[in-house]
Amino acid sequence: MKTKCKNLTIWITGASSGIGEALSIEFAKRGATIILSGRNKEKLEAVKARCKKSDKHIVMPFDVADAEQAKEAYRSIKTQAGKIDWLINNAGISQRSLIMETTEEVERQLMEIDYFAQTRLARLVLPDMIAQNGGKVVMISSIAGLLGSQYRGAYGAAKAAIHMWANSLRAELHDQGIEVATVFPGFIQTNVSINALTGDGTAQGTMDDATNKGLTAKAFAKQVSKALIKGEEYIIIGGQKEKLAMMVNRLSPPKLYKMIRAAQVK
């Protein structure tokens, strides 16, 4: 059964740019009330202004990696919005460094932002979702969490961990009215590669060619919104190369990794 967006209040993290921005605009267009979160209040306000019926949406800036800030943000959201129907856990950071050139500190930073911060926020909202007899938690994983490749070792590991955690959450809370969906983006035209961490923790600062040639964030958001509204739980969004890789992986994982080694994806 399709969900009517006009009845939903949706909390979207990482909403100041990229796919979080696109998802906010798309769901606002469909009538939902959006809670926009990220670290930069000015950027969030700019995204809010682009959302349909902007006056009804709420900007809630905080650092997703800070547990106390997350708790305070949720308390404030409940005061202002009353409830959250969907949480879209989108905030995160990518990686562009070889495993042997990446420090353990950087790997822990990636896991903290891309895994622990996400599960922490979900656990924060779930008790109220259960009490209101329903809710949806959406985890933004990555095709990198399904298919390991060069330069994304810790990032892929964190995104794979989110995927498995979401599977377990779905099994545990299905009978309590909680829906869990996982989205696996491929290459999307955002600043993800520019902000990606290198081996010493500094940002890469440049756009990958593959990212630059990926789907637009707007096209991604349209596909994801349709899938979530229809109740899909396992959503893979990517271009032809990503779709081919997924098909080859189903047929012959060894063949896929020969292709990945030859491609030297960065």
Catalytic positions: 155
- Residue 90 phi, psi dihedral angles, 5° rounding: -105, -25
Tokens 């010493």, located at residue: 200
Contact 47, 15 (CB under 8 A): yes
Please give the biggest Cα pair distance in the chain.
Answer: 53
> Helices marked H in the chain — which ranges?
18-29, 41-50, 67-81, 104-111, 117-131, 153-173, 192-195, 209-212, 217-229, 240-251, 253-263
- Residue 14 phi, psi dihedral angles, 5° rounding: 60, 35
* C-alpha span between 87 and 29 (Å, rounded): 18
